[in-house]
């Protein structure tokens, strides 16, 4: 069997860097950070993909500063929409399948049951709108694509909620965490494993991928401290207590129906994944 050749954009980011660690017997992974590939330059995308001749491009590079995007929408759209167009066009020309990483922010968060892949999108933030525009670029400009929406991502690399909680716990004896936003944490290790399984298939289309189970940010923080053996006074608060420039979805639980219907591996329960992460980073 020939090795699958995978190019990963945004290879210095949280998920991109995780993926670059996964070169296996089945796949050769080439990670391209910003210094090696400027996705906002279509000629460069064409040149780099033509040079590497990948079978698959996993497009992780993105503008992810959710609050900052509210004050610089042009930049968010330049990176998440126009640059995604460049990647889609260049990947298609190179004959590569394309996997685009998207977000729960494409929904408005007013639901009460898990969003499935075909539910109506209604982003409320510049970030969410720009990522949805990226999805539309992929759907219209490429014919063999996977769009994978994920949520509440954390892992070994980059900044994330778990690292923030552990850091704050080392500096304070009490913390307040929002309890009225519900979602599903996603461990980059598990997401990377799923993506590598997915791109070896021809099951193209839209996917929701997160660790299974539901929690609030408060529940998540509580689990982080319990599983790390940290004693701290943890208080719950509401979203209204912490106003942010970009509104946070109150409910961003996603139903993973496409994973089930295609017989792919479900990601494990979020608490189990958290335990794996905490043990791994000791």
State the average pLDDT over residues 111-138: 97
pLDDT at residue 26 is higher than 90: no
Q: If we measure between CA atoms, which residue out of 64, 207, 179 comes closest to residue 125?
A: 64
CA distance 210 to 254: 8
Q: What CATH number does residue 202 fall under? A: 3.40.50.720
State the average pLDDT over residues 39-55: 98
226 found inside a domain: no
134 found inside a domain: yes
Active centre residues (catalytic): 127
What CA–CA distances, in Å, run from 174 to 178, 220, 222, 228, 235? 14, 16, 12, 16, 8
Strands (E), 107-224: 145-150, 153-154, 174-178, 182-183, 186-187, 205-208, 215-216
CA distance 57 to 5: 9
Tokens 């053996």 — which residue? 229
Tokens standing for residue 221: 């923080």
8 found inside a domain: yes
DSSP letter assigned to residue 254? B
Count how many domains the chain has.
Answer: 1
Percent of the chain at pLDDT above 90? 95
What's the pLDDT at 2? 78
pLDDT at residue 125 is higher than 70: yes
Q: Is 235 exposed, middle or buried (0-12, 13-18, 19+ CB in 10 A)?
A: exposed
84 found inside a domain: yes
Helix then strand count (H, E) for the chain reads 11, 12
What's the pLDDT at 4? 93
Q: Residue 134 belongs to what domain range?
A: 4-160+184-212+253-268
* Contact criterion met (CB below 8 Å) for 260 and 194: no
276 found inside a domain: no
pLDDT at residue 153 is higher than 70: yes
Confidence of residue 109 (pLDDT cuts 50, 70, 90): very high
What's the pLDDT at 199? 97
What is the reported pTM? 0.97
275 found inside a domain: no
248 found inside a domain: no
What's the pLDDT at 167? 95
pLDDT in tens, 215-231: 999 999 999 999 999 99
What's the pLDDT at 1? 58
CA distance 129 to 116: 18
Q: If we measure between CA atoms, which residue out of 117, 262, 265, 260 comes closest to residue 202?
A: 262
Beta carbons within 8 Å of 23's beta carbon, 6+ residues apart: 29
Confidence of residue 24 (pLDDT cuts 50, 70, 90): confident
Give the three-class secondary structure for 197: helix
259 found inside a domain: yes
Q: Judging by DSSP bridges, how do beta strands 182-183 and 215-216 pair with one another?
A: antiparallel
Q: If we measure between CA atoms, which residue out of 163, 209, 203 comes closest to residue 189?
A: 209
State the average pLDDT over residues 263-270: 97
């Amino acid at each position: 069997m020939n090795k699958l050749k995978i190019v990963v954009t945004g290879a210095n980011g949280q998920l991109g860097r995780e993926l670059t660690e996964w070169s296996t017997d089945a796949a050769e992974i080439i990670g391209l950070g910003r210094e090696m590939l400027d996705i906002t330059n279509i000629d460069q995308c064409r040149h780099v993909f033509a040079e590497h001749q990948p079978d698959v491009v996993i497009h992780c590079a993105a503008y992810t500063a959710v609050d900052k995007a509210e004050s610089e929408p042009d930049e968010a759209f330049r990176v998440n929409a126009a640059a995604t167009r460049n990647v889609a066009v260049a990947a298609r020309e190179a004959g590569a399948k394309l996997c685009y990483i998207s977000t729960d922010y494409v929904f408005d968060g007013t639901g009460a049951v898990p969003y499935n892949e075909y539910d109506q999108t209604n982003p409320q933030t510049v970030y969410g709108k720009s990522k949805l525009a990226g999805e539309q670029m992929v759907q219209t400009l490429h014919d063999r694509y996977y769009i994978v929406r994920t949520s509440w991502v954390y892992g070994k690399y980059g900044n994330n909620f778990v690292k923030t909680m552990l850091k704050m716990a080392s500096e304070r004896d009490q913390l307040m965490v929002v309890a009225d936003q519900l979602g599903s944490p996603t461990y980059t290790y598990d997401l990377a494993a799923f993506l590598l399984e997915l791109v070896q298939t021809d099951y193209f289309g839209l996917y929701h991928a997160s660790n299974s189970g539901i929690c609030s940010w408060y529940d998540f923080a509580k689990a982080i401290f319990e599983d790390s053996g940290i004693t701290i006074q943890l208080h719950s608060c509401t979203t209204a207590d912490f106003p942010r420039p970009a509104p946070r979805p109150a409910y961003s639980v996603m139903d993973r129906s496409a994973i089930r219907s295609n017989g792919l591996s479900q990601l494990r329960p979020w608490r189990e994944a958290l335990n794996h992460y905490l043990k791994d980073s000791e």
